[in-house]
Structure 1
């Protein structure tokens, strides 16, 4: 799935579908409200745990690592969970992306888990480590099995 340098093509079909689902879920949720960045950990379209990223809440690298580690424990999933940060704006590197990537990298490293981390907006996803990304003009639900 992921490695230190991030995602590379070709992506496994289940991972590709999960990332698309994360974008679709975010696109639907963003239409209903404006929001802060939200860190998700789990399986898009399935079970995930979240942490809203408030700008008025001071954090540092250690605290972000502790938050991600707590999310890993709360998720209690079989297999390796994905980490995705949903936020408004374009899929260009932002400080919030790098800050939470560092925390996720630390927590997953300590847990001995491979890290899949992407940033998601309502049109696509991007891996800030490798630069690999996918975007859609308009997200639509697919019929089952496609």
Structure 2
């Protein structure tokens, strides 16, 4: 299973290219797939849980018991500022790989201007999903999309 993103911010998941676009009636703002913007503020982490049984006795503090740890989810992606003329988007895209559940993506978008637009997810150049996503200056919008 190959899951990664390219230097231009395009995600490649299971051999499919994921493009992200904010569309207004006047213009399309490409949020990834741009070589003029460095996608180098990389985010990568693991979620994990630990559980265990410990025996506590004042004379044997720190002795005994057992702990188990397991990773529950891997996350990778980036955050960036997408500048297009006088418009700036703070954008974060993460691919989430939970143990035993569906892979999904988390997107967060904040604009410096008000827009009445749509957030599009394009898979291999075709619109896979489109969400009505009005934006107000400085107020973030966030969504999760299950990769299908």
Q: Rg bigger for which structure?
A: 2
- TM-score normalised by length of structure 1: 0.27
Q: Which has the higher strand share?
A: 2
Q: Which has the higher helix share?
A: 1
